[in-house]
Amino acid sequence: MLQEAVKLKAVSGTVETIDRRSNLSRRELIKEYIEPGRPVVLTDAARQWPGMGKVTPQFIKEKYGHLTKNVKGVEYTFSDLIDRVLASSPETPAPYPFNVNVEYYCPEMRKEFKPEIVFGKLDRINHPLLPRFMMHGTEVYEFFIGGQGASFPFLHVDELFLHNQLTQLYGSKEFILFGPEQTPYLYPTPNNPKISQVNVLNPDYEKFPLFREARPLRVMVNQGETLLFPTGWWHITQIHEPCISLGRCHLNGSNWRAFVRDEAKVWRRKSALMSMAVYAYGMALGVLMDAQEALMPL
């Protein structure tokens, strides 16, 4: 089961609201949210990023409009997609998710999003001994660009059991989240337990009666704000205006072993030998990182 694979730390009590916090120290962030596995909106952690206020639909169109992206089987230029995002409506929503791998399409933009928010003592995902090929199947940094009326197509837990960070660079985005303890009400797909069978925005209660017991948390993430939430939290998004988000995934001690197991499983489809090598290296690297973190002060 999903919880067994993740081995999540228990949150003390059900999370009924998502805190909005400012001026959090690194120690406070780790002790109050990262270690207990509680989501939080940081209202000011990214406000001083050079890219904040700079990355707009017009900026994307002018600087990267010539690039192309396949969205739902159709090839678009970024320029065409931006035009569709700006004209999007609930009746005719723009194609979504329009997500852009920053390290592939525009690696020079990474410097615009510093200082980085780190999900723990050590930024494990950018550790010099963790090669990017071990992030197979996911992007570490990506833009999500969407227009009014768009929504992510299904309720899910992120791939490879990665922790999640979402910063609004332009506009706002609404998140609907369910804590890991609500998994029994969400009908995980048998062959992919990270995806729910329930259409959260239009649920079929006859087919999925237990979903009536699920209690969503809804939070609007506004421009300049960052939502952090750990793996195991189910989520889906709705967009009510043109927006650009920066997604960033994270690793720490609580999800490291689940990540390594899942990554080895991905590689097993290609090569059993490579899968074993990834697993052995990942577990050994985790021990090293644990030791490094034990020596690091908060």
Domain count for the chain: 1
Residue 273 lies in a domain: no
Identify the pLDDT of residue 235: 96
Residue 269 lies in a domain: no
Confidence (pTM): 0.92
Rounded Cα distance between 271 and 288, Å, is 26
Q: How far is CA 18 from CA 36, 48, 118, 216, 250, in A?
A: 13, 23, 19, 11, 19
Q: How far is CA 153 from CA 6, 97, 148, 231, 238, in A?
A: 23, 8, 14, 19, 10
Choice among 6-15, 73-82, 84-93, 137-146 with the minimum mean pLDDT: 6-15
CATH value at residue 227: 2.60.120.650
Identify the pLDDT of residue 6: 42
Inter-residue contact 135 to 142 (CB < 8 Å)? no
pLDDT of 133 strictly over 70: yes
What number of helices (H) and strands (E) belong to the chain? Answer: 7, 14
Q: Which residues of 177-194 are buried (b: 16+ CB within 10 A; e: fewer)?
A: bbbbebbebbbbeeeeeb
Residue 137 lies in a domain: yes
254: nearest Cα among 25, 14, 39, 37:
37
- Over residues 110-120, mean pLDDT: 95
Residue 134 lies in a domain: yes
Q: Residue 297 has which token pair?
A: 């002060």
Rounded Cα distance between 96 and 78, Å, is 13
Give me the residue label for tokens 């489809």.
269
Identify the pLDDT of residue 12: 37
Give 129's Cβ-side CA count (13 Å radius): 12
pLDDT of 92 strictly over 80: yes
Identify the pLDDT of residue 297: 87
Q: Residue 196 has which token pair?
A: 């729910």
- Over residues 224-253, mean pLDDT: 96
Residue 21 lies in a domain: yes
Residue 266 lies in a domain: no
Instruction: Using DSSP bridges, classify how beta strands 217-221 and 74-77 pair: parallel, antiparallel or unpaired.
Output: unpaired
Residue 37 lies in a domain: yes
Identify the pLDDT of residue 137: 75
Q: How far is CA 159 from CA 25, 36, 118, 248, in A?
A: 29, 21, 19, 13
Over residues 156-214, the pLDDT tens digits come to 999 899 999 999 999 999 999 999 999 999 999 999 999 999 999 999 999 999 999 99
Residue 271 lies in a domain: no
Taking residue 92's Cβ as centre, other Cβ atoms within 10 Å add up to 11
The boundaries of the domain holding residue 154 are 2-252
Rounded Cα distance between 52 and 56, Å, is 9
